[in-house]
Structure 1
């Protein structure tokens, strides 16, 4: 009789322990599942916040760029990326594709007189690079004709040399923006090297090249502060 009672009591205690262990295991699983769900929810919310911030930053940059384009073009919005190709020719007039003519004419750019453009090299922005540093790799020009291959812009030697003064990538890309440039009143020239300083009479030397200088200027629609010119 005592044996049966002891056996029944042990069985009851064993079943109670097993129920407690199952309950504890279930509680642990629910706790881990809840923690995992919270972790995933936090990660998802953080990812969504980051995407919203990225979208907001991208929109802000796009709005800022559009505002800059509109200000530069005085109401004409023209900003396109082209593959830069070189062609042999004098002056500072580039060749653009036919689609650019339609884009500009639809906005009335042809009615505003001679068209000018700001050219800049396209490259990844190096952290800490200022807009002034980017401006050093930009130049201005006019347009000769709209016969270039779609997706490309052809640059004469003068424009090419001013834009690509050092390294030239395998596929040089440039951004071309329509620009409303103020009329210049004078040009300040800075000689390169020491040869000019060795001349006995600078004024006389410039006068001797006056005709060539005037011919050169007639071919040039625009000058930028970092442009180089050659007068021989």
Structure 2
């Protein structure tokens, strides 16, 4: 099952990352005994999972950067994976997270949420007066390990024509969509590009889940690119900045 990292701007009604969220669901724990060869170390499985996540991050085209991967290995996880090999367990974690997210409707939501981008330049009649707009920068984070979900940051943007004058962040970054992972905000930073006609919003947070009795955590920086177009803020391809 392959996902692309780009193309969706549809607003999502389901929010994940808060305590008690419907998407902060732990996967079911089966009855299992320890693998006969014993449990692999947390460090070895974390390293194997990190390698797979780094490969998935590279395939995202630069919009998601993964770090600080940790796995607390449980007997249930080893039994479910059918092996004590760290690489096999890491692959099982990704597959299980993807399968559960898909079973909750992630694929359908991804297909329904795809929208065409409007990158048309502003016309000569575009507003020359300063404009203030409430806006949400967001980026689809459809890595197999996450599901089909977005990381978002609300903000107030003041701009004139295609030039951004100022940005005020409203609250913390947050997750929306369908995922077995819970997103927790760490920080958000802004970068202006192309003489302030492009805005990079870099949202950093922690993704956490319980998979077969094992706590799985990693940090991620998620990049959204936006700018004023035709009198309104709009998403743009970060490679255009």
Q: TM-score range by the shorter chain?
A: under 0.3
Larger radius of gyration: 1
Instruction: Please give the TM-score of this superposition, normalised by the length of structure 2.
Output: 0.21
Instruction: Please give the TM-score of this superposition, normalised by the length of structure 1.
Output: 0.22
Whose helix fraction is larger, Structure 1's or Structure 2's? 1
Whose strand fraction is larger, Structure 1's or Structure 2's? 2
